[in-house]
Amino acid sequence: MDFQHRAGGKTGSGGVASASESNRDRRERLRQLALETIDINKDPYFMKNHLGSYECKLCLTLHNNEGSYLAHTQGKKHQTNLARRAAKEAKESPAQPAPAKLKVEVKKFVKIGRPGYKVTKQRDPEIGQQSLLFQIDYPEIAEGIGPRHRFMSAYEQRIEPPDRRWQYLLFAAEPYETIAFKVPSREIDKAETRFWTHWNKETKQFFLQFHFKMEKAISQSGNILPPGMKHPPPLMSGPRQPGDNMPPPPGGMSVPPLPPGASGPPPMPHQMPMPPMPMRPPPPEGLTLS
C-alpha cells in the first residue's frame, strides 16, 4: 500500500487520525486548558464520592478523573443544564425592588418679599484694592435662622444668557425671597482681613465685604499703572539742575554751561518770516515755456 502519496499524508509521519482520535485529542487539550484556568474546588456542582470518582450534581454524571469532569463542564449538556437552572432561579426568586433614591425635601414657606439692601463701592487708599460692602436688612427673619450667601457662576443661572464676564452673589434667609447681585467675574481675595461677614442679631442686619485680587501694578506714588507699563526708574541722587530738560543740540554739539545765577537756558531769538516768492506771469497764448 502506498502511504506516501495518499491524501493528508506526509513522508515520515503516521497515518491520518480518525474521528475518535481527533475527539480524544480535543478533550485532552480542553482538559489541560481547564486545569490551568478553572479552580475546580470552587465549582458548586463538583463532588467526589466515596469510591474515588467524581460526580456532576447538576447533570448526574460520573467521571474517573478531574480532567474528565472539566471536559464535561465545557460540553453542550452541562452548558444547557446551567442555562435551565439560571432561568428557573430567576423565575422563582422574587423581584427585588430598586433602592429608593434619597430625596431632599424642599422647605415650603410663604415668602414676604425682598429684603432691603445697600451696596457700597470702596477702594483701599494705600494700595488701591477694590472692594464691595453689602448690607442686607432682615427685620422679619424667622427665629433661629441665619442669613446664607454663596457665589454663583453665570452658567448656573437661567435668568439671563450666560456671560463669562459676570458672576452672581446670592443672599437667602427665610421668609424673604433670595436676592442676587451681579458682580464682575474676577478672582476674590479670600484673606482673613479681605473677606468677612457679620450678622447683627439686634438690628437684624447682615454685612458682607470682599475684595477683588489686584490685577494691576501700583506705582510708588500709589497710582494704578495700566497693564504692560513698568515702574519708572528711580530718580538720580541730588537735586535736579535747571537745564536738564533742554533738548540735545543739533549736530552732536555739547550743551554750553549756563552762567552763574541763571535760572534756565537763554531764550532763543525769534526767526524772521521768509518773504513770499513772486508769482511768475503766465505765458502768452500760443507760447510754451522751455
Cell, residue 120? 457700597
pLDDT < 70 stretches in the chain = 1-15, 95-96, 98, 216-290
pLDDT tens sequence across 125-170: 888 889 999 999 999 998 888 899 999 999 988 888 989 999 999 9
pLDDT value of residue 207: 94
| Domains with residue ranges and CATH for the chain | 22-91 (no CATH), 116-212 (2.60.40)
Beta strand extents in 139-257 (DSSP E only): 148-153, 166-172, 179-184, 188-189, 195-200, 205-212
pLDDT value of residue 14: 60
Contacts of 109 (CB under 8 A, 6+ apart): 142, 174, 175
Q: Helix (H, G, I), strand (E, B), or coil: what is residue 57?
A: coil
- Model-level pTM? 0.41
Please give the radius of gyration of the chain, using alpha carbons only, rounded to the nearest integer. 49
